[in-house]
A = this chain, B = another copy of it.
């Protein structure tokens, strides 16, 4: 008998039929003799609808109240899924984030899990119940509801799997696994049987939209075996492990991320500490900065350029202007019509030709490169958003066809 954590995203529970489908998967897993904990997101567009409701009230809703509002979304989906499972004559009990013991810090809207008190979940499992847990949410030390931010349900699932010592954590989604590129855009994309945490981490960060990167980080840290699979077909998905299959594919995948904005602070005084101040201010606002480039100094100034999610642009500029005295009146350029295209693969570090091959693929389609960033297992370029899909196809063809 195994203890399995299964996570279902919002699109998997968007309609009564889909809820029934998920209930069937869960009931089958339970009837096969497993202990089952299920983590669910809010149904379909619920979260977006709730955000819309808040914006009909006020332009700048408070973050504490926003968390109170959004947490209702999963409350609905866990109750409905528990009902659907009970209808199949399996015992189920739904638990909110706080009931399942999710203790977080107080960063409303982007809270971090501090620890999980699993006593209630374990007691329900001991009573042979299927436990349905609201993803994405927890409670801070003031007993206020917090949310983990977008994609937080993946993190909830992995964290709970780690805390419970689960045998595996299955992330059900609307694709059949992790592909070498988005199969809807690139027909030749290939499904991977397995992939390492590190590779998955790069793919997640880069917008593969299969797994939230926080959840992969956590899976790696606690060595939780993940499987990404479809809630519609009953096929094996892609396993995410410490060491993946040995067949050495040079690159694992090509991804694009269009939720990226480029911010350039122009003619910054070339004195020590400016970069430190800028990025510590951004960190204090919980803004994840991705690529950072600092031009070499021209005279006594330099330019600092970085990328972040589009939604954080206003907060980022505001925070910099207000908190970094030297920059209050500097020109700040913003480019929101860009996309980041990346290739990932543990094999590439020892193959210097990989970058050249990628740039050639971009040259083939006459695509200009705005920024370049590399790590041991990935190469990313920032290009015009309009060119993103074409660029992914061209790069994928160059490496896989």
Partner-B contacts on A (CB < 8 A): 16, 19-20, 50, 53-54, 56-58, 61-62, 64-66, 68-69, 71-73, 75-76, 78-80, 82-84, 86-87, 92-94, 96, 99, 120, 143-145
Contacts and interface: CB of A to CB of B under 8 A. Distances in A.
Q: Which 10 A-B pairs have the closest CB atoms?
A: A69-B79, A72-B72, A68-B79, A16-B56, A72-B75, A58-B87, A61-B83, A65-B82, A65-B79, A57-B83
B80 A57 contact: yes
B99 A83 contact: no
Given A69-B79, A120-B143, A87 B57 contact: yes
A62 B82 contact: yes
A36 B346 CA distance: 60
B82 A16 contact: no
Contacts of A75: 68-69, 71-72, 75
Nearest to A139: B99
B79 A66 contact: yes
28 contacts: A16-B53, A19-B57, A20-B57, A53-B76, A54-B79, A54-B80, A57-B83, A57-B84, A57-B87, A58-B83, A58-B84, A62-B82, A64-B93, A65-B86, A65-B92, A65-B94, A66-B83, A68-B75, A68-B79, A68-B94, A69-B79, A71-B75, A72-B72, A72-B73, A72-B75, A72-B76, A96-B145, A99-B143
Contacts of A20: 57
A380 to B, nearest CB: 38
Given A58-B87, A62-B82, 4 more contacts: A57-B84, A58-B83, A65-B83, A65-B94
Contacts of A50: 76
A60 B99 CA distance: 24
Nearest to A53: B80
Nearest to A134: B68
Nearest to A68: B79
Contacts of A61: 83, 86
A84 B59 CA distance: 10
A117 B83 CA distance: 31
Contact of A68 (B82, B86, B144): B82
Contacts of A76: 50, 53, 69, 72
Contact of A83 (B62, B79, B93, B143): B62
